Amino acid sequence: MRSKGFEGMACSVAAVMGAIGDRWGMLVMRDLLLGLSRYEDLRHSTGITNTTLSDRLKMLEENELIERRLYQSRPDRFEYRPTAKGRDIGLVMQAMVQIGDRWNSMGVAGPPIKFVDKLTGRGVKLITVDQETAEPVAAQDVGVQPGSGADDLMIWRLTRSSN
């Protein structure tokens, strides 16, 4: 479950998915971003087996998304916190919540979780804006281009696509 095979791939999607690992890694990140920090709480929240949970915590730590800190000795107990890099995953989580709610694939009455402005308590959402002017850009006008770090494969993908 390590990011083997993703090194050197000039693609941020591959890099981020490599760091998260898999669905279990993402669910652990979700819980840590929601503020859970203790192993037993993560166990209870996700229902993941000990083996899988330990492995994913180790992987997320190796990938520098989380930090482990001793909070009790004899027996040693650790808590886990997202790093600055890990807190970035919040944007991916927000995107997932936004589209998951649109799909309503959980068959529930409404959204299970709401992103809000803590100052006003009002709901928030992600929108695409011009990087400089901050003017909103409509979804259908958003496109992709090779960036300055694009490798041959990325340029091939984007050229091939325009056929």
Residues 19-38 interacting with a copy of itself (rule: CB under 8 A): 19, 21-23, 26-27, 30-31, 34-36
Residue of 6, 52, 55, 68 that binds a copy of itself (CB under 8 A) = 6
- 66 φ, ψ (degrees, to nearest 5): -135, 160
Instruction: Verify binding: residue 82, a copy of itself, rule CB under 8 A.
Output: no
* Residue 139 token pair: 């979804």
Q: What is the dihedral of CA 106, 128, 26, 10, to 10 degrees?
A: 140
Residues 89-118 close enough to bind a copy of itself by CB under 8 A: 89-103, 105-106, 108-118
Instruction: Verify binding: residue 55, a copy of itself, rule CB under 8 A.
Output: no
Count of other CB atoms within 10 angstroms of residue 28: 26
Instruction: Verify binding: residue 69, a copy of itself, rule CB under 8 A.
Output: no
Which uninterrupted H or E stretch holds 12? helix 12-20
Residue of 39, 45, 58, 61 that binds a copy of itself (CB under 8 A) = 45
Among 152, 20, 151, 43, residue whose Cα is nearest residue 95: 20
Instruction: Verify binding: residue 136, a copy of itself, rule CB under 8 A.
Output: yes
